[in-house]
Structure 1
Amino acid sequence: MDKIAVVILNWNGVKLLEQFLPSVIQYSAEATIYVADNASTDNSTAFIKEYFPSIKIIQNSGNHGFAKGYNDALKEVDAEIYALVNSDIEVTENWLQPIIETFENEKHTAIIQPKILDFKNKEYFEYAGAAGGFIDKFGYPYCRGRIFDTLEKDNGQYDDNCEIFWASGACFFIRSEIYHELGGFDESFFAHQEEIDLCWRAINDGQVIKYNSKSVVYHVGGATLQQGNPKKTYLNFRNSLLMLVKNLPKKGLFFVIFFRMILDGIAGVRFLTQGKFKHTIAILHAHFSFYCVSLVYLKKRKDFQMRQYYSVKSIVFLYYIKKLTVFKEIFNSNQNIKN
């Protein structure tokens, strides 16, 4: 069994592989590197075989998205630690050592996220994960270094190692044993927020999730679905509701979901006022899709000892009404945030 395996999920991403595989190979001597290909129709696998023959290729049977794509591929990877890395990630020297050391020294830590900075503007945090993620009472995600669309400059303010609620799927380290015990990602999510769901299930199972600033990567972001893509809006809103049904404590479950749907409606109206009609339709589509499967998801709920899941009651209120746009402003407000 390998100590650590770096597994990169690919779908028609030969240009990204050409750009970013060299850094992964250069700085990952400790790891076995895999590319899990979701039935690409470009020449991705031929390119890897010709130019990077040391990389192991796992051929998935179809484009199953992030969740099933990784679930299928990881059945073929024998390693203590999985490093799930987007194909648009540039890694840096010694990015693996701090992660391996943390797993070796902290047996209770199951999942770790590195510092994720913006490849296009390397002084700033990147949208997908930044310096570690949290959610509010109604399931809206935010990060240290990124609240909604506000990205902070990296001035060393998050150069620490701390407990977080969720780690970004852009660069996600997990003990293989825990991954399989939890059943991997929820495949019906397809893509987006499946990593938050997995982290929430891990926390409900008594596991610990950490952020480690000594490991640094740069993420392009939106290489598969751009931030303004209505399909991404649909998946984010639908999957967030499904995640709440699965993981919320029983007490207050229906109130939180009902209020969340009201907030989603307000977001839909906001998109309308901005002329983003397709995004409003995407939210409506997400809600109808949620109605169709909500009873199925209620049956997915498991008995667990609930731990505090939210850090603030409403990040929407703090950001849009109180105009707190930086994580430390929220931390310093009269909110109960665990840092």
Structure 2
Amino acid sequence: MDKIAVVILNWNGVKLLEQFLPSVLQYSEEASIYVADNASTDSSVNFIRENYPSVKIIQNTGNYGFAKGYNDALQNVDAEIYALVNSDIEVTQNWLKPIIETFDKENQTAIIQPKILDFKNKEYFEYAGAAGGFIDKYGFPYCRGRIFDTIEKDSGQYNDSCELFWASGACFFIRKKVYHELGGFDETFFAHQEEIDLCWRASNEGHIIKYNPESVVYHVGGATLQQGNPKKTYLNFRNSLLMLVKNLPEKGLFFVIFFRMVLDGIAGIRFLTQGKFKHTLAILKAHFSFYCISLKYLKERKDFQIQQYYTVKSIVFLYYIKKIQVFKEIFNSNQNIKN
């Protein structure tokens, strides 16, 4: 069994592989490298075979999105640690060493995220993960270094290792044993927020998620679905509701979900006033899909859920009403974050 395997999920991303696979090969001597291909119709597979014969190729039989794509592929990967890496990630020298050292020293740590910076503007954090993630009471995610659309410059303010609530799927390290014990990603999600759901389930089982700033990667972001894509809006709103049904503590479950749906309605109205009619429709479709499958999720709820899953009650209120848009302004020098 390998110590660590880097697994890159790909779908029609030959241009991204051409640009970013060389850095992974250059700086990942400790790892076996895999590309898990979601039935690409471009030249991705041939490109890897012809130019990087050391890279192991796993060919999924369809485009299964992030969740099932990884679930199927990882059945063929034998390593103690999975490094799940987007195809639009540039890694840096020694990016794996601090991750491996943390796993070796901390038995309870099951999931780790590196520092994720913006490939296009390398002095700034990147939207999808930044310096590690949290959620508010109503399931809205935010990060150290990124709250909604406000992205901070990296000036070393988050160079401390700390516990997180969720780690970004853009570059996601997890112990193989934990991944399979949890059943992997929820395949209904297809893509978006499946990593938050997995981390929440890991926390419910007593596992620890951490951020390690000594490992640094650069992420392009939005290479598959751009921020303004209505499909992304649909998946984010639907999956967030499904995640709440699965993982919220029983006390207050239905109130939190109801209030979250009210907030979703406000977001839909806001999209209407901005002329973004497709996004309003995407929220309506997300809610309809949620109604259709939520009963199944209620029946499958686990017996135990952690009570204190959030660190602020409403990040929406703080950001839009109180105009507090920087992480450290909310948490007063990390006083509420476990070190």
TM-score scaled to structure 2, two decimals?
Answer: 0.98
* Alignment gaps of 5+ in structure 2: none
Paired with 1:34 and 1:333, the residues of 2 have a C-alpha distance of 40
Aligned to 1:90: 90
Aligned to 1:192: 192
Aligned to 1:101: 101
Paired with 1:23 and 1:307, the residues of 2 have a C-alpha distance of 41
Aligned to 1:286: 286
Cα distance, 1:304–1:259 mapped onto 2, change above 3 Å: same
Aligned to 2:151: 151
Instruction: Give yes or no for contact 2:248–2:305 (8 Å, CA) kept in 1.
Output: no
1:54 aligns with 2:40: no
Superposed displacement of residue 138, structure 1: 0.1
Paired with 2:275 and 2:7, the residues of 1 have a C-alpha distance of 40
Paired with 2:104 and 2:333, the residues of 1 have a C-alpha distance of 36
Superposed displacement of residue 74, structure 1: 0.2
Superposed displacement of residue 139, structure 1: 0.1
CA RMSD of aligned residues (A): 1.2
Instruction: Give yes or no for contact 1:197–1:243 (8 Å, CA) kept in 2.
Output: yes
Instruction: Give yes or no for contact 1:311–1:338 (8 Å, CA) kept in 2.
Output: no
Q: How does 1:140-179 map to 2 (within 5 A)?
A: 140-179=140-179
Paired with 1:306 and 1:51, the residues of 2 have a C-alpha distance of 48
Superposed displacement of residue 160, structure 1: 1.0
Cα distance, 1:98–1:200 mapped onto 2, change above 3 Å: same
Paired with 1:23 and 1:317, the residues of 2 have a C-alpha distance of 41
Aligned to 2:215: 215
Which AA in structure 1 matches 2:121?
N
Instruction: Give yes or no for contact 2:162–2:337 (8 Å, CA) kept in 1.
Output: no
Instruction: Give yes or no for contact 2:162–2:338 (8 Å, CA) kept in 1.
Output: no
Q: After superposition, what is the alpha-carbon deviation per residue over 1:184-234, rounded to whole angstroms, capped at 9, x for unaligned? A: 000000000000000000000000000000000000000000000000000
Instruction: Give yes or no for contact 2:328–2:334 (8 Å, CA) kept in 1.
Output: no
Aligned to 1:138: 138
Which AA in structure 1 matches 2:261?
M
Aligned to 1:320: 320
Paired with 1:176 and 1:332, the residues of 2 have a C-alpha distance of 36
Superposed displacement of residue 118, structure 1: 0.2
Instruction: Give yes or no for contact 1:36–1:58 (8 Å, CA) kept in 2.
Output: yes
Q: After superposition, what is the alpha-carbon deviation per residue over 1:227-263, rounded to whole angstroms, capped at 9, x for unaligned? A: 0000000000000000000000001000000000000
Instruction: Give yes or no for contact 2:247–2:305 (8 Å, CA) kept in 1.
Output: no
Paired with 2:69 and 2:310, the residues of 1 have a C-alpha distance of 29
Instruction: Give yes or no for contact 1:118–1:220 (8 Å, CA) kept in 2.
Output: yes
3-state SS of the aligned residue for 2:320? helix
TM-score scaled to structure 1, two decimals?
Answer: 0.98
Q: After superposition, what is the alpha-carbon deviation per residue over 1:110-150, rounded to whole angstroms, capped at 9, x for unaligned? A: 00000000000000000000000000000000000000000
Aligned to 1:311: 311
Superposed displacement of residue 305, structure 1: 4.8
Instruction: Give yes or no for contact 2:135–2:141 (8 Å, CA) kept in 1.
Output: yes
Aligned to 1:43: 43
Count residues in correspondence.
339
Which AA in structure 1 matches 2:232?
K
Paired with 1:205 and 1:288, the residues of 2 have a C-alpha distance of 31
Which AA in structure 1 matches 2:36?
A
Which AA in structure 1 matches 2:125?
F
3-state SS of the aligned residue for 1:112? strand
Q: After superposition, what is the alpha-carbon deviation per residue over 1:141-176, rounded to whole angstroms, capped at 9, x for unaligned? A: 000000000000000000011100000000000000
Aligned to 1:69: 69
Paired with 1:195 and 1:162, the residues of 2 have a C-alpha distance of 18
3-state SS of the aligned residue for 1:260? helix
Which AA in structure 1 matches 2:167?
A
1:271 aligns with 2:276: no
3-state SS of the aligned residue for 1:124? strand
Paired with 1:283 and 1:292, the residues of 2 have a C-alpha distance of 14
Superposed displacement of residue 332, structure 1: 2.1
